[in-house]
Amino acid sequence: MLVKPFWASTFDIITEFCYIRKIMEYTLNQINEIINGQVIGDGNIKITGVASVEVAAHGDITFIKGEKFIEKGVNSKASAIVVHRVIDELKVPLIVDKDPFMAFVRFLEVLANERMESEPGIHSSAVLADTVKVGNGVSIWPNVVIRDDVKLGNNVTIFPNVFIGEDCVIGDNTTIHANVSIMGKTSIGQKVTIHPGSVIGGDGFGYLQKGGKHVKIPQVGGVQIGDDVEIGANVTIDRAALDKTIIGNGVKIDNHSHVAHNAVIGENTMLIAYAKIAGGARIGKNVMIAEDVGINDHATIGDNCIVGGGSNVYKSLAPGSVVWGSPARPLNDEKKIQSIITRLPDMRTKIKELEKWKVKSEK
Amino acid sequence: MLVKPFWASTFDIITEFCYIRKIMEYTLNQINEIINGQVIGDGNIKITGVASVEVAAHGDITFIKGEKFIEKGVNSKASAIVVHRVIDELKVPLIVDKDPFMAFVRFLEVLANERMESEPGIHSSAVLADTVKVGNGVSIWPNVVIRDDVKLGNNVTIFPNVFIGEDCVIGDNTTIHANVSIMGKTSIGQKVTIHPGSVIGGDGFGYLQKGGKHVKIPQVGGVQIGDDVEIGANVTIDRAALDKTIIGNGVKIDNHSHVAHNAVIGENTMLIAYAKIAGGARIGKNVMIAEDVGINDHATIGDNCIVGGGSNVYKSLAPGSVVWGSPARPLNDEKKIQSIITRLPDMRTKIKELEKWKVKSEK
Amino acid sequence: MLVKPFWASTFDIITEFCYIRKIMEYTLNQINEIINGQVIGDGNIKITGVASVEVAAHGDITFIKGEKFIEKGVNSKASAIVVHRVIDELKVPLIVDKDPFMAFVRFLEVLANERMESEPGIHSSAVLADTVKVGNGVSIWPNVVIRDDVKLGNNVTIFPNVFIGEDCVIGDNTTIHANVSIMGKTSIGQKVTIHPGSVIGGDGFGYLQKGGKHVKIPQVGGVQIGDDVEIGANVTIDRAALDKTIIGNGVKIDNHSHVAHNAVIGENTMLIAYAKIAGGARIGKNVMIAEDVGINDHATIGDNCIVGGGSNVYKSLAPGSVVWGSPARPLNDEKKIQSIITRLPDMRTKIKELEKWKVKSEK
């Protein structure tokens, strides 16, 4: 059920467009073809929306994660529920799957894709250099501007007002959302999603001090982004001074994050919102960087590290480190220190009492 | 005095355009028709600009807030001053109003609106789906792209290069500035302003860990924004995973802030720059979140709380709490702790002295 | 070697476009004409790329900074190296210059400029008000929208999807990158670069509290940006409430930074990423604000101050202050305090022991 691009006057009016609550029209059996569980009850009922168990209304399908949510399921107004076992108290049709959340996610994926897919085509207002190479099934929306020697793989979707600089490569099945700027010499892998407003390949921030002025170090390197990467909204990933800034396969980057020039982010690492990865930092694989964390320039963060929210990491971390705080310390040390800081007024009082006693004793 | 859109070649050249210093041409009497105070002196003088009392030049009107600013008024080069009472030392024409700042603001509102108003019309380069419904007096600037089933209320202004996804609703008198991206299924109330570069309805950041990889939880909910909301530049408000992310009536959000999926912001709450509201957090009404504050996911912040700048709030707060610090503590506790932290070197010295004394005494 | 704009169908196909690794074709002698050093060895070899000494491959030119990098030079695969003296161990052709990094930068500047230059012209999709004045050599890319009474100096380049509001002035040789929004009444100097996604002149965040609601203080001032300023990606600089927000000559501002209304940034000051300069703050000349620093509203930071990363500066700083921490303290104080904080558990233990001793002694 592809969504036809609305600008395509040669296409029919898009009546089959189906998005979540609006005119979603699955039967429960059709949903189960996606979920691949077991339908209990009337599989022919029509489902017109998805919602959480608390919010669901008539027509919606929802899910419960396990035993302790059964009461919520009983009180829900949902018309169908995905559950982990047959539950007699639930009076509506069910889909049973041993992992109901994951099962529900499989259906959500189909809905989310419907929302994003557009039929192939290049809008007449898009401006592409003659040397741009475009794969099969590519969808380029209005006002997209693409410079020389860019290569777009198959099934790439570029939403409106995106700018792509010269010499970029974008892999198959990648989606670039509205108002994104991708500067020249950026290489992006397959199945990547970049959310609106992000800037990939802006100049790194590098200057020489000379005669009391800042002389710019020209930033002539590139950015290389792997496969299965997701980049949030209003993120910035700067080009390298020389060589490349690298984002590994499977990396997920949340809104407002910043990866500075020549940083390297290892595979499957996650950067939560406002991650600040300074120049030349090297983050390992499977690292979890929580919200609002700063990593110092040229610091090395080993594989599998976890950095707690709000931390500033000034020094390199061995693989598997779990740290928190500013400056970041081993988690348990920081917890102990924070707990003592709370008791500082009490400590101060005790020191004063000890001093009084000393003075008295010495008399 | 509407500003005609400049693309409208059928309109006259816009010579009456009036913006602040440039060709602003009010008489003092005309300004007082807006302010509704009392003119003292020559009401026929021409006013060609607005400025602060220190900066004001000949032709400008300014204001002073009260008694202690009289000397500044005397030294000002302004041609007219809005004041709280007749002040003989001021040798220029006055407008008297018991709240001169508020009175001055009433005039500034007129100036600011002049700057933003454009005559209705849809620029020929805008691309609207056939199913878009447009109210009266709507002004759609060049390169705006609007997807299917969007409804725009009356007097909505959409500045250039804005993208609006499918199934959005935008209320009367709302203004969307340049380069904003509003993703599908966003509902926006009346008299809302969204400043440039903001992203509303980008995907929330949600993943399941499965087999060492991050499996995306599709984000298929929406965003609902109330009336009289103002959203700064380069803000991001993510869509809900399911259900809605909600911004209440009268909420004001400053630049670079981030409201994550499924968060709820209560009425008249204020988020100053770089507010980081994590997923599912519930912020009450009339809360003041100062600059660079993080609120933990699923935390509940009661009505009327005040959170000081730079704080990280890890736990829920009762209504009316006033907190500061990272982690956030009651304001007075944090102030005391900060004051003691400054004296830590002294405390350490004292402990050392006490220990020396102990060693000596025990001999 | 100007890059012709690709939309210019009347121009030849751009075959001479030369960008870094791709089809860069300098001989070493040609590079030395730019560097102005001394060629040692075969000056006729072809150089097709630039890279760091570790990454360089056959065809690349690189540099080493001094004696301690000689071994890296020996192990490098570069085809030519810029060095500080003749070094016999290096078996490839050399360019000798007493400051090899600076010499290399001179060549990089040429490469970087090649990438950015475009031949003059205004794309047919750009929408300019009739009253816009355009200097010589201006290059305006697709989908740029410019409102009334804007003046663009000579050799200004405006990349795609930029919006420029009414009454702006942009100086000679300034470059505005894609998806930037410049709101009305902004004045920008010469040789300024603004990277993608930034917003200049959005409304400042100012409200009066009245009857439990936030009444907006209209923001009718402007923004003034000096010469030789560089502004990173997704930065916001707000317009003043009245008067001007001012960015001095030579200021460099990194990604995600925010300069609030009526702030003043002195000449040659540097704001690293996520600088948060609150309303009315006055930052002096040659100040270095490290990453993720907050400066309080109306604080004055004297000339030549250095503020360490992650600091929050609540009070004004005398010229030449070097501070760190949150709240910011003199650097050495903060270092001492941080070192003591690490030992807090130990201090607490010692206090407990002293108390036990006291109790015992007093028996």
| Residue type at position B337 | I
Is the separation of the CB atoms in C182 and A184 below 8 Å? no
Is the separation of the CB atoms in A69 and A87 below 8 Å? no
Q: B218 CA to chain A: closest CA distance, Å?
A: 6
Same-domain check for residues A175 and A252:
yes
Does A212 lie at the interface with B, CB-CB under 8 angstroms?
A: no
Q: What's chain A's length in residues?
A: 363
Tell me the pLDDT band of C117, cut-offs 50, 70 and 90: low
Angle between helices A344-362 and B344-362 (to 10 degrees): 40
DSSP state for residue A110 in the 8-state scheme: H
Same-domain check for residues C164 and C52:
no
Lowest-confidence region among A94-103, A261-270, B206-215, C96-105? B206-215
d(CA A277, CA A312): 10
CATH number at residue A101: 3.40.1390.10
Identify the three-state secondary structure at position C109.
helix
Does B354 lie at the interface with A, CB-CB under 8 angstroms?
A: yes
> For a pLDDT cut of 70, what percent of chain B falls above it?
93
Of C115, C144, C162, the position where a domain reaches its end is: C115
d(CA B308, CA B153): 38
Contact across the interface for C260 and B273, Cβ inside 8 Å:
yes
Q: B267 CA to chain A: closest CA distance, Å?
A: 21
∠ Cα B159 B160 B163 (to 5°): 95
Active site residues of A: 261
Q: Please say if the pLDDT value at position C19 is more than 60.
A: no
pLDDT digits (tens, 9 = 90+) for C25-37: 899 999 999 999 9
Mean pLDDT across chain B, nearest whole number?
A: 90
Does C55 lie at the interface with B, CB-CB under 8 angstroms?
A: no
Burial class (CB in 10 A: 0-12, 13-18, 19+), B327: middle
Greater pLDDT, A351 or C3? A351
pLDDT digits (tens, 9 = 90+) for B156-180: 999 999 999 999 999 999 999 999 9
Active site residues of C: 261
Which chains are within 8 Å of C by 3+ CB pairs?
A: A, B
d(CA C281, CA C279): 6
Chain pair A-B, CB pairs under 8 angstroms: 190
Contact across the interface for C274 and B272, Cβ inside 8 Å:
no
Give the residue-averaged pLDDT of B6-11. 29
Does B205 lie at the interface with A, CB-CB under 8 angstroms?
A: yes
- The reply to whether C344 falls in a domain is no
Phi-psi region of B331 (alpha: psi -120 to 50; beta: other; left: phi over 0): alpha
Q: Please say if the pLDDT value at position C211 is more than 90.
A: no
Angle between helices B344-362 and C331-342 (to 10 degrees): 50
d(CA A140, CA A114): 17
Choice among B177, B195, B261, B298 that is catalytic: B261
Which residues on B lie below 8 Å from C149 (Cβ)? 17, 22
Q: C313 CA to chain A: closest CA distance, Å?
A: 16
Which residues on C lie below 8 Å from B290 (Cβ)? none
Tell me the pLDDT band of B348, cut-offs 50, 70 and 90: very high
d(CA A179, CA A191): 19
Of A115, A138, A156, the position where a domain reaches its end is: A115
Give the residue-averaged pLDDT of B201-217. 92
Query: Looking at residue C362, what is its pLDDT?
Result: 81
Work out how many domains chain C is built from and give that number. Answer: 2
CATH number at residue C203: 2.160.10.10
Q: B321 CA to chain A: closest CA distance, Å?
A: 18
Give the residue-averaged pLDDT of B210-236. 94
- The reply to whether C79 falls in a domain is yes
Q: Best of A132, A258, A354, A357 to disrupt the C interface by mutation (most C CBs within 10 Å)? A: A258
- Nearest chain C residue to A357 by CA distance is C358
Query: Looking at residue A361, what is its pLDDT?
Result: 87
Same-domain check for residues A35 and A177:
no
Query: Looking at residue B50, what is its pLDDT?
Result: 92
Q: What is the DSSP string of A296-316?
A: -TT-EE-TT-EE-TT-EE-S-
Sign of CA dihedral B272, A232, A269, C52: negative
Cross-chain CB nearest to A214 (options C19, C252, C347): C252
Same-domain check for residues C231 and C142:
yes
Q: Best of A55, A105, A346 to disrupt the B interface by mutation (most B CBs within 10 Å)? A: A105
Which residues on C lie below 8 Å from A260 (Cβ)? 273
Chain pair B-C, CB pairs under 8 angstroms: 191
Which residues on C lie below 8 Å from B105 (Cβ)? 208, 215, 217-218
Query: Looking at residue B17, what is its pLDDT?
Result: 25
Cross-chain CB nearest to C127 (options B7, B196, B292): B7
- The reply to whether C150 falls in a domain is yes
Same-domain check for residues B174 and B280:
yes
Contact across the interface for B250 and C336, Cβ inside 8 Å:
no
Does A76 lie at the interface with B, CB-CB under 8 angstroms?
A: no
Contact across the interface for B147 and A6, Cβ inside 8 Å:
yes
Looking from the CA of A228 toward its CB, the CA atoms found within 13 Å total 14
Q: A46 CA to chain B: closest CA distance, Å?
A: 19
User: Which residues, numbered 264 to 303 in chain B, qualify as contacts with chain C under a Cβ-Cβ cut-off of 8 Å?
Assistant: 268, 270, 272-274, 286, 291-292
Structure token pair of residue B315: 């736990």
- The reply to whether C72 falls in a domain is yes
- The reply to whether B211 falls in a domain is yes
Q: Please say if the pLDDT value at position B11 is more than 80.
A: no
Query: Looking at residue C6, what is its pLDDT?
Result: 35
Q: Best of C344, C356, C361 to disrupt the A interface by mutation (most A CBs within 10 Å)? A: C344
Same-domain check for residues B180 and B307:
yes
Same-domain check for residues A153 and A279:
yes
Same-domain check for residues B90 and B132:
no
Structure token pair of residue A132: 């741009």
Lowest-confidence region among A75-79, B44-48, C211-215, C317-321? C211-215
Does C130 lie at the interface with B, CB-CB under 8 angstroms?
A: yes
d(CA B232, CA B212): 38
Quote the pTM value.
Answer: 0.92
pLDDT in tens, chain A (363 residues): 233 333 332 222 222 222 333 446 899 999 999 999 999 999 999 999 999 999 999 999 999 999 999 999 999 999 999 999 999 999 999 999 999 999 999 999 998 887 766 678 899 999 999 899 999 999 999 999 999 899 999 999 999 999 999 999 999 999 999 999 999 999 999 999 999 999 999 999 999 988 888 999 999 999 999 999 999 999 999 999 999 999 999 999 999 999 999 999 999 999 999 999 999 999 999 999 999 999 999 999 999 999 999 999 999 999 999 999 999 999 999 999 999 999 999 999 999 999 999 888 887
Does A55 lie at the interface with C, CB-CB under 8 angstroms?
A: no
d(CA A97, CA C291): 48
d(CA C268, CA B238): 37
Does B178 lie at the interface with A, CB-CB under 8 angstroms?
A: no
d(CA B184, CA A3): 13
Which residues on A lie below 8 Å from C115 (Cβ)? 166, 184, 220
d(CA B209, CA A21): 28
| Residue type at position B133 | K
Does A354 lie at the interface with B, CB-CB under 8 angstroms?
A: yes
Q: Please say if the pLDDT value at position B301 is more than 60.
A: yes
Which residues on A lie below 8 Å from C286 (Cβ)? 212
ipTM, two decimals, is 0.91
Query: Looking at residue A210, what is its pLDDT?
Result: 86
- Nearest chain C residue to B11 by CA distance is C130
Cross-chain CB nearest to A109 (options B207, B218, B343): B218
User: Which residues, numbered 310 to 329 in chain A, qualify as contacts with chain B under a Cβ-Cβ cut-off of 8 Å?
Assistant: 310, 326
Same-domain check for residues C108 and C132:
no
Identify the three-state secondary structure at position C145.
strand
Range list of H helices, chain B:
28-35, 70-75, 100-116, 331-342, 344-362
Contact across the interface for C252 and A347, Cβ inside 8 Å:
no
Tell me the pLDDT band of C281, cut-offs 50, 70 and 90: very high
Same-domain check for residues A196 and A289:
yes
> For a pLDDT cut of 90, what percent of chain B falls above it?
85
Range list of H helices, chain C:
28-35, 70-75, 100-116, 331-342, 344-362
Mean pLDDT across chain C, nearest whole number?
A: 90
Same-domain check for residues C111 and C132:
no
Angle between helices B331-342 and B344-362 (to 10 degrees): 60
| Residue type at position A240 | A
Contact across the interface for B233 and C179, Cβ inside 8 Å:
no
Is the separation of the CB atoms in B84 and B35 below 8 Å? no
Cross-chain CB nearest to B6 (options C129, C203, C222): C129
Domain that holds residue A258: 128-334
Same-domain check for residues B217 and B264:
yes
> What phi and psi, each to the nearest 5 degrees, are found at residue C133?
-110, 130
Which residues on A lie below 8 Å from C100 (Cβ)? none
- The reply to whether A348 falls in a domain is no
Query: Looking at residue C226, what is its pLDDT?
Result: 97
Query: Looking at residue B212, what is its pLDDT?
Result: 81
Checking DSSP bridges between strand A193-194 and strand A133-134, what pairing results, if any?
Answer: unpaired
DSSP state for residue A317 in the 8-state scheme: B
Does B349 lie at the interface with C, CB-CB under 8 angstroms?
A: no
Q: C293 CA to chain A: closest CA distance, Å?
A: 11
pLDDT digits (tens, 9 = 90+) for C137-192: 999 999 999 998 999 999 999 999 999 999 999 999 999 999 999 999 999 999 99
Give the residue-averaged pLDDT of B264-292. 97
Query: Looking at residue B114, what is its pLDDT?
Result: 78
Cross-chain CB nearest to A310 (options B161, B312, B333): B312
Q: What is the DSSP string of C26-44?
A: EEHHHHHHHH-SEEES-TT
Does C30 lie at the interface with B, CB-CB under 8 angstroms?
A: no
Query: Looking at residue B117, what is its pLDDT?
Result: 66
Is the separation of the CB atoms in C132 and C152 below 8 Å? yes
Identify the three-state secondary structure at position A14.
coil
The strand pairing partners of B20, in sequence order, are none
Q: Please say if the pLDDT value at position B8 is more than 60.
A: no
Contact across the interface for C199 and B234, Cβ inside 8 Å:
yes
Cross-chain CB nearest to B148 (options A14, A105, A355): A14
- The reply to whether B222 falls in a domain is yes
- The reply to whether C352 falls in a domain is no
pLDDT digits (tens, 9 = 90+) for C218-228: 999 999 999 99
Query: Looking at residue B361, what is its pLDDT?
Result: 87
Greater pLDDT, B312 or B15? B312
Lowest-confidence region among A229-233, C123-127, C308-312? C123-127
Contact across the interface for B22 and C167, Cβ inside 8 Å:
yes
Q: Best of B140, B144, B145, B177 to disrupt the A interface by mutation (most A CBs within 10 Å)? A: B145
